[in-house]
Structure 1
Amino acid sequence: MPTPLEALHTTFGFAAFRGRQGDVIDRVMAGRHSLAVMPTGAGKSLTYQIPALCRPGTGLVISPLIALMHDQVRSAEAAGIRAATLTSADDNRDETIRRFRDGELDLLYVAPERANMEGFRRQLDRVPLSLIAIDEAHCVSEWGHDFRPDYRQLRSLVDAHPDVPRLALTATADRHTRADILAQLGIPEDGLILAGFDRPNIRYAISPRDGLPRQLSALVAETPGPGIVYAPSRDATERLAETLRQTGRPTRAYHAGLDPSVRAANQQAFVASEDMVMVATIAFGMGIDKPDVRFVAHAGLPRSIEAYYQETGRAGRDGDPAVAHLFWGAEDFSRARRRIETEMEEARRPGERQRLNALAALVEAPDCRRAILLRHFGEEPPARCGNCDNCLTPPASIDATQAAQKLLSAAFRTEMRFGITHLADVLAGRDTEKIRSFGHDRLSVFGIADEEEQRLIKPVARALLARDALRADEYGGLSFGPAARPILKGEEQVMLILPPKRERRRKDRAAQDYPDDPLFDALRAVRRDLAREQGVPPYVIFHDATLREMAELKPRTLGGMKQVSGIGARKLEAYGQAFLDVIRNF
């Protein structure tokens, strides 16, 4: 059997391991149990694919989504790995079981539901296993943001094979979640391998919503390449997709209300496209492994920092520059807090409140976004990253404590029954019929806001709602939250961030940092043709980074082509000549 380095070079066409890949693979090769926390795009799949090629037996991979498994099998087969899925969506299950039983598979992918079936576990007892990999392992933890009960039952499966190395993998796990994964899967503490959470190629930006269709249309127009826009509801998904089609970019929608065949066709079209925008609910994305997504936009607040990190991590998996832009509104926090208090069991509420407060700190911060994210996951990053909105264009900030106190007082004096528009009118001293009818023109807070404070009322309200000093009921009425008291007593400041005016640009350089190259474009064209012929996405043939290096080195022979990173033996044989012909024509 090959050594890991031989497999890396021959099968995948890479000269050396990246980051902590080698450390994880060494532990698996030694038969030791491990939890690898590696950022998206760091090559997690190689940490189980290579040991599966280098150890006797078949590697069992437990993964949460059928679409994701099919995508990974497609890429593995393109590299010459014998891989298959065993899912309810497959019509060749009998053939896959035979290949598995006869030792004809390097990798078998299954969902946790199948892994927990008694009949499948009996089959495992009769087949040598090289390893058991548990992907998206944060799903095993109740602390994790995507807890799935079926993952909890995997402990008995791995314990039934104590001599088979178990490898848990995730990109998203804070300290609590990491400790829980180790305990739930029986992995020793020294088996934790942290590769860090930083995605330096992603440019983070966060803006208050202010004409969302216009804001998203500008982002799409400025940022070439495939992109995902996450919308908070099915209706919003359809509306925004229709709006973004007017930019001229191919745009589709994805949500649970669509017919399954339409949903599958839309996903397939996006995976194969080099410029499509998918407007989707959060269900979309976990099931694809598309490396060339150039931007991810949130049209509303994500559920937590962990969810935000995971969803933005779907951009730039190929290592090329990408953009993550979040657009938020005060109503997002109001809805989230109502959901916590009315829909969640009491035991989970403190943790969910803490997560929401962490999100509020992120969206309101004048400091480096990346540093806040990384500190949340227990890292100690530099104070500035140089690749987020606050680092690139530092915002101005003003002390809005007095305006906040006046707004809170107005809410109190009007018996906490009215919304922001009415409170702003009261503070400005406007003579309206509504104010007179309630006698609010006789209140001590009537007309106490000067012109500057009047301009600040709405952004101050947004900040107070985000930090839970104000709460909005379902009718828009504003009442005090637990953070109101220290502000009213002068014990806590309210610093308001004034985002800089954003100049319109033709293209966002964060997603287009490479000069135009006719040879690169020609190589992409032949890749597109090959992908269409074989019915696979273009990135399954080669990633953009491989084509870019090919265009730079301009190899003249198949031997020279082997020196390009990302070209293994199978791909060299299948595609090498077609790309050599293009280079020779130039």
Structure 2
Amino acid sequence: MPVEATKNQVFLNLKNYFGYDSFRANQQDIVEAVLNKKDCLVIMPTGGGKSICFQLPALSFKGVTIVISPLIALMKDQVDGLNANGIPASFFNSSQSSEEQFAIIEHVIRAEIKLLYVAPESLAALQNILTEKYISCVAIDEAHCISSWGHDFRPSYQQLGFLKTTLPNIPFIALTATADKATREDIVKQLRIEDAQRFMSSFDRENIGLEVRPANNRISQIIKFIKTRPNQSGIIYCLSRKTTEQLAKKLKANSIPAESYHAGLNFDKRSKVQESFIHDKTQIVCATVAFGMGIDKSNVRWVVHYNMPKNIEGYYQEIGRAGRDGLKSHALLFHSYADVIQLQNFASGTSNEAVQIAKLDRMKQFSEATTCRRKILLGYFGELLGGNCGNCDVCKNPPQFFDGTIIAQKILSAIYRLKQKEAMGIIIDVLRGAQNAAILSKGYQEVSTFGIGKDISWKHWQHFVIQLINQGFCEIAFHKNNALQLTEFSNQVLFKEAKVALTKPIVVTEIKPVVKEKRSRLKRTKTTSKAKSATSNLFERLRQLRYKIASEEGIPAYLVFSDATLKEIERERPLSESEFLSISGVGQRKLEVYGDEFMAEIMNFMGSKVKKQKKGDTYTVTYELYKTGLSIEEIAVQRKLNVTTIYSHIAKLYSTGKKINIYDFVTKSDVEAVQKAKKALDSPKALRPYFEYFNETVDYFKIRLALSVIEKD
């Protein structure tokens, strides 16, 4: 096929199957390289569009594209998304029966599927079809798993090097969202694709706000955080299984719908939690880090790290699970020294202990930063950010340094006077002169430092103590009930006049306008609130319709349309098929299956404001052409519309009473079959249940035509 023809077909497939009119950065170059049978290494951020880089070329290849994926639980999600877009795809793993696996192999041999997702451990069972006769491309997703330098090393990935030897003439594409230089070199070496073209997209996810907080009263902070974000999906990452369960329980006690997810749960329970979250039935999941990898749930609005991650790669990948649709999202990290010690213990004795400790130190430095966090994050992956991002807690509340020597001397003196036996809370209580039971029972009201810091609030003292720990002037003895102890640097401050620079506490307050401003804003609020409520009302109605359709079809809501697509539908309010098709994220398949219901919802919302002839125009034009005796194909060419769109017009025209010879387009046996399916399925409104009932052998447009006959009769 000529290159130009291939390019044209690629753009048609991009719109028809994925609903996009244009590529994101690097995507087109990667797709063209794969189609030209070049090996590729793709480093692209989570949510950056990695999947299209191999899914789109797969549509142009004669054989199947094998996709190596690390987690069995995620394959169904990927395949469901492809099938929802009209792309034949399957997965092959140990969760299936031998009969199911044999049927999939037959599909590959007959070239009936375009993509096959496989776990590395299952490749041995496919050895009879791992030939260039059947395989056209190999994609290795989460490719960092092959490298011991990576943050998520998996031994099963190290066997993948044999694939290039077995399939030397087909293109390999290795993809990951997180790989530093050492990991990138290791990936191409182990996969034996040293000459691969390398593509690195920007790591900057501007829509994600970054924030780090001290890990005090985490649960109350999280509850408050969630309650200011009602109806938003979120993930809370924890280090231990026990923490996920305890946190989910406490959130439920505060009327927040949450579930826990970790490797200790059986497969069915994990699958149930994952499915519930994907289908928007569970709002929040408290999970260990494996949760979320590869899930293309686009409407996760926030990610919270209850514990500090062990490295920046893991942190970056996990926060990337928020805001995949490009809409405003938030990443909140709680930083605690107990987490640092625990992670150091985890790394101790491992084969790559030095690497893990070094990466943990970088993560710790990021958490303690007093400079733009996004600069640090992007710099880690070799990307330089010119100015500050303006969308992290440091940029929004820049710290101010001052001479904190006297404050430091007071803290260190208190630690000394209490014989280095007490934790931070008692130290601060002594400084503030607290008269509580713990202080009085130990006689601490008698020490010389008691009450010398009454003029500073408890939280501000905490802020200063943490900074002294960061700077090494004192340390936490975790093995002694978290007692604060002096270090060799303490003497320099107490006795050698060393200066200590501290940052002023960040005071975040609610904006309280003065009375004059309140009066002037009242009118603006009233006038704008109506517009906002009207707009949000339509979005909510579209969201509810999406949820209803998704529930009927048994697929996640975001596979119908993403939040970003819904926002554009809300804004543009398309009332014709051509207008609806112009929305980003709406392809031909989704127009056929969902377009009518969404346009009807918009019309119902707009009521008398809508010019009803606007939607009718497109059907009228088709009807006039039909009456002239043109075929469906000829009408489609003249109208520059897809043939299936014209068929949907015919079905609509027939159901509204127009003189259509409907049996020119659908047989009586087709109608009888759909009538039987309707009874068996209990009359679903969506088309997809019928499509699946017929094992995807009857086209959507025929189902629609048959239903128009049934409904009219």
CA–CA distance in 2 between the matches of 1:105 and 1:481? 65
CA contact 1:471–1:481 (8 Å) conserved in 2: no
Q: Within 5 Å, give how 1:234-383 maps onto structure 2.
A: 234-273=241-280, 276-340=283-347, 343-345=348-350, 348-383=352-387
**Per-residue deviation, 1:339:** 3.6
**Per-residue deviation, 1:353:** 2.6
CA–CA distance in 1 between the matches of 2:578 and 2:451? 79
Alignment partner of 1:69 is 2:75: yes
**Per-residue deviation, 1:57:** 1.4
Q: Which amino acid aligns with 2:585?
A: G
CA contact 1:357–1:467 (8 Å) conserved in 2: no
Cα distance change on mapping 1:4 and 1:113 into 2, 3 Å: same
Match of 1:577 among 585, 596, 621: 596
**Per-residue deviation, 1:514:** 10
Match of 2:478 among 473, 493, 496: 473
Please give the TM-score of this superposition, normalised by the length of structure 1.
Answer: 0.87
CA contact 1:333–1:466 (8 Å) conserved in 2: no
Of structures 1 and 2, the one scoring higher in RCO (CA 8 A, sep 6+) is 1
- 521-530 or 393-402: bigger deviation: 393-402
Q: Which amino acid aligns with 2:242?
A: D
CA contact 2:41–2:174 (8 Å) conserved in 1: yes
CA contact 1:203–1:388 (8 Å) conserved in 2: yes
Find the counterpart in structure 2 of residue 532 from structure 1: 551
Counterpart of 2:290 in 1: which secondary structure? coil
**Per-residue deviation, 1:416:** 6.5
- 198-207 or 521-530: bigger deviation: 521-530
CA–CA distance in 2 between the matches of 1:58 and 1:481? 63
Q: Within 5 Å, give how 1:525-564 maps onto structure 2.
A: 525-564=544-583
Counterpart of 2:127 in 1: which secondary structure? helix
CA–CA distance in 2 between the matches of 1:279 and 1:240? 7
Equivalent residue pairs, number: 568
Counterpart of 1:229 in 2: which secondary structure? strand
CA–CA distance in 2 between the matches of 1:465 and 1:112? 45
1:270-301 Cα distance to aligned partner (Å, 9 max, x none):
11117711122223211522110011111121
- 306-315 or 521-530: bigger deviation: 521-530
**Per-residue deviation, 1:414:** 8.3
**Per-residue deviation, 1:560:** 2.9
Find the counterpart in structure 2 of residue 114 from structure 1: 122
CA contact 2:109–2:134 (8 Å) conserved in 1: no
Q: Which amino acid aligns with 2:105?
A: I
Counterpart of 2:129 in 1: which secondary structure? helix
1:104-132 Cα distance to aligned partner (Å, 9 max, x none):
110000011123x2x42332126432211
**Per-residue deviation, 1:350:** 2.8
Match of 1:175 among 163, 177, 181: 181
Match of 2:587 among 552, 568, 580: 568
Find the counterpart in structure 2 of residue 100 from structure 1: 108
Find the counterpart in structure 2 of residue 508 from structure 1: none
**Per-residue deviation, 1:95:** 1.1
Q: Which amino acid aligns with 2:280?
A: S
CA–CA distance in 2 between the matches of 1:212 and 1:332? 13
Counterpart of 1:294 in 2: which secondary structure? strand
Q: Within 5 Å, give how 1:174-193 maps onto structure 2.
A: 174-188=180-194, 191-193=197-199
CA–CA distance in 2 between the matches of 1:514 and 1:385? 31
CA–CA distance in 2 between the matches of 1:157 and 1:490? 65
Q: Which amino acid aligns with 2:542?
A: L
Find the counterpart in structure 2 of residue 509 from structure 1: none
Q: Within 5 Å, give how 1:316-465 maps onto structure 2.
A: 316-340=323-347, 343-345=348-350, 348-400=352-404, 403-404=407-408, 419-420=423-424, 458-465=462-469
Cα distance change on mapping 1:82 and 1:495 into 2, 3 Å: same
CA–CA distance in 2 between the matches of 1:155 and 1:66? 21
Q: Which amino acid aligns with 1:20?
A: N
Cα distance change on mapping 1:100 and 1:485 into 2, 3 Å: farther
CA–CA distance in 2 between the matches of 1:482 and 1:151? 46
1:112-162 Cα distance to aligned partner (Å, 9 max, x none):
1123x2x42332126432211110111111111101111111111123211
1:518-568 Cα distance to aligned partner (Å, 9 max, x none):
332222222211111110011111112222222333333323322122122
Larger Rg: 2
Please give the TM-score of this superposition, normalised by the length of structure 2.
Answer: 0.72
Match of 1:22 among 28, 33, 40: 28
**Per-residue deviation, 1:425:** 7.7
Q: Which amino acid aligns with 2:475?
A: L
- 271-280 or 295-304: bigger deviation: 271-280
**Per-residue deviation, 1:262:** 2.7
Find the counterpart in structure 1 of residue 615 from structure 2: none
Match of 1:131 among 133, 137, 149: 137
CA contact 2:236–2:303 (8 Å) conserved in 1: yes
Counterpart of 1:529 in 2: which secondary structure? helix
**Per-residue deviation, 1:261:** 2.6
Query: Would you tell me which structure has more helix in proportion to its own residues?
Result: 2
CA–CA distance in 2 between the matches of 1:52 and 1:126? 14
Cα distance change on mapping 1:103 and 1:218 into 2, 3 Å: same
Counterpart of 1:153 in 2: which secondary structure? helix
Counterpart of 1:325 in 2: which secondary structure? strand
Runs (5+) with no aligned partner, structure 1: 506-512
Cα distance change on mapping 1:288 and 1:478 into 2, 3 Å: same
CA contact 1:396–1:500 (8 Å) conserved in 2: no
CA contact 1:57–1:106 (8 Å) conserved in 2: yes
CA–CA distance in 2 between the matches of 1:240 and 1:263? 17
- 19-28 or 273-282: bigger deviation: 273-282
